[in-house]
Structure 1
């Protein structure tokens, strides 16, 4: 067992003649020292491991005792203590103490910087808003170790008090939870009681955004004259024809000399469940639109709109007008193409696993059936044809 004591080391006198208080760590017949922030004017102000004859002696002794208690708690948790040296023990103690000083803001920034590198700009902005709101509620940055279930519940109450929708509250709290889970996985913090253990996340409303066969046909066939609306309609239909592909994946894919798609969805590319590659043949309906916008280098360019931001903005601004002109009375978004493809497949009685594969969704590996089978391109091609044939 390691022993701790409060000392000064006369040979390590500071340049101004004063002395820094250190914690002596004795282990395996070795003694090493951990410096503290406390400084004494004279070596005589330490007696029997206590600070004496100092105006702040009582407070210093209390803080030093608390520090030793923390060190002893760390040592107690090390199951392999007999196998490590005194120097290694001090490294562990310093690391564990450093973790206690790691703040929410520093971890949130680290996580968001990683996200920035992955070009997830929209998600980055949401995380930034959520973390800034949380820090504001906490009245400034704070050590992660101080966070309790009461803080989470009170933060949720504050958000509800601002009349935010349940969906918005759920998004903010989900993002905060992701950051905390990242911190625990990186061993930045260890919670004996997780801050979210008592919190019940607001349920998400199912987004009724899918279109019926008749509605989708009306959108496909409506007469349009404005170029921007024609482009939005083509992008929406192409997204549907490609299994509800995400816009980022669509713009990043090189279609040059290809009659198929083989890609890993950007959203799940770094998923802990592994990469899920999707492969399927390009159907004639998709090829018509692809050939219309295909550039020499194999990528799609929609008129004067080429970047993700430009095209996303175009869709956001005009998808509502397109749905109105198509006689559709429900809310329609770009996501509706993906939701509609999946719903049409489900309505036909197609296996969920096959639909998941076609839309590039991460399939649940906890289903025992996946120990024996795998879905391949030939299965996907049949699914695409069966779904798209409904529009003939």
Structure 2
């Protein structure tokens, strides 16, 4: 039978003359040792499995009991552990420490993910996770892995409701927490009979109406804003996103715009292991005219602003508010409105959804059988974008078709 116990090797001190406290893994007559972070100055400070003759003996013994308990709990989750050798058991028991070293709380686990995101250059996602962690710590403090359960998750959700967080805000925070919990379960760091989200439903907020009307976008296209640098920037960036199939800001500023065709993988979904992630579309003349005003030597957009990417986006949105006021556009106008408006117009004039998703840079869902056989191609996306441009240029031409399509959908 496999057993775990605390011990030292009095005959094998370190070069510095210290005696590390070890966890002995015993299987029949076979033994292996797991080193803890604790060590003694003298072998006499160890008696009958405990630390003695030290001022901090009581505290050390408590910490050692916790350490031993951690490995004993892991041992219980190993099926037929008596069939393994001591060396094999040691490898299994210490695997989690190699995957997530020094993970004592769920907060530590979140911090590790934030650090990884920053190292990958995904500062925007890292900032969102940092915001989630701040809110979580305000509600729960430092949460040991062992109590990261459905009670903690329920309490966190109730706390957010009581403190005025919207459904949209709760959705983001709970989704971040759930994703990290699932990773911890996968790595064996969290073990639970019931999933921590077993009784907590992630809210789905009502979608915000961020698209604008055909008349509004025609106002933007025809507006003479040459006298204002802010309004010119707002108009150009909004229309450039729209003409490039509703491309996101984060993708727009990093894509090479020097060629007649742009190709990119949406940053937000670059980690997803799905097919059809690359979006390639031709740069239409309307977009080319705008690009020529801002393109730098490296093929990327160049602005005469000493802002970070995030601050520049906020500045553009501020300029778009000024543009909306100037043109008397009642709808909310943000950079994201260009993406929503493109998708809305494409849907209204009957562009198939897989082509719209391709233009937007979304990953095509391969769980739908037909998507495993049919692939959206660039020329289809180019045609879709041109059709949307034709729609805003001559909306009256499309009006009979849109009305007929609406009637047919009602009949179906």
TM class by smaller structure: 0.7 to 0.9
Correspondences of 1:196-211 after superposition (within 5 Å): 196-211=197-212
CA deviation map 1:283-309 (0-9, x unaligned): 121112112222344222245578524
1:273 equivalent in structure 2: 274
Alpha-carbon offset, residue 323 of structure 1: 1.4
Root mean square deviation of aligned Cα: 3.8
Name whichever of 123-132 and 63-72 sits farther off: 63-72
Question: Which residue of 1 is the match for residue 113 of structure 2?
Answer: 111
Number of residues of Structure 1 aligned to a counterpart in Structure 2: 388
Gaps in structure 2 of 5+ consecutive residues = 394-412
Equivalent in the alignment of 2:185: 184
Please give the secondary structure, in 1, of the residue aligned with 2:340: helix
Conservation of the 8 A alpha-carbon contact between 1:101 and 1:143? no
Change (3 A) 1:307 1:168: closer
Q: Is contact 2:233-2:319 (8 Å) kept?
A: no
Match of 2:78 in 1: 78
Partner residue in 2 for 1:332? 333
Alpha-carbon distance between aligned partners in 1 of 2:262 and 2:119, rounded to the nearest angstrom: 25
Q: CA deviation at 1:51?
A: 11
Contact 1:3-1:27 within 8 A present in 2 as well: yes
Offset at 1:222? 2.3
Structure-2 separation of matches of 1:43 and 1:115: 44
Deviations for 1:199-234, whole angstroms, at most 9, x for unmatched residues? 012222201001121111112212323111111101
Once the two structures are superposed, what CA deviation does each residue of 1:224-265 show, in whole Å capped at 9, x if it has no partner? 231111111011001000011111221222222x21111111
**Aligned equivalent of 2:391:** 390
Structure 2 distance, partners of 1:307, 1:61, is 51
Once the two structures are superposed, residues 92-126 of structure 1 have per-residue CA deviations (whole angstroms, 9 ceiling, x without a partner) of 23445887953222221221122213333333222
- Measured in 2, the distance between the counterparts of 1:58 and 1:313 equals 55
Q: 1-side partners of 2:315 and 2:149: how far apart?
A: 43
Instruction: Determine if contact 2:5/2:24 at 8 Å carries over to the other structure.
Output: yes
5+ residue gaps, structure 1 = none
CA shift for structure 1 position 45 = 5.7
Q: Is the 8 A contact 1:8 1:22 kept in 2?
A: yes
Equivalent of residue 244 in structure 2, options 224, 228, 242 = 242
Distance 1:103 1:69, change over 3 A: closer
User: Which range moved further: 289-298 or 300-309?
Assistant: 300-309
Provide the residue aligned with 1:27 in structure 2.
27
**Given the superposition, is the C-alpha separation of residues 14 and 353 from structure 1 closer, same or farther in structure 2, using an over 3 Å criterion?**
closer
Q: 1:111 to 1:45 in 2, by over 3 A?
A: closer
Change (3 A) 1:72 1:164: closer
Tell me what 1:315 maps to: 316
| TM-score, length basis structure 2 | 0.80
How far 1:22 moved relative to its partner?
6.0
- Match 1:127 to one of 109, 129, 134: 129
Q: In 2, Cα distance between the equivalents of 1:248 and 1:21?
A: 51
1:260/1:11 CA distance change after superposition, 3 Å:
closer
Moved more, 347-356 or 281-290: 281-290
Q: Secondary structure at the match of 1:252?
A: coil
CA distance in 2, matches of 1:380, 1:62: 64
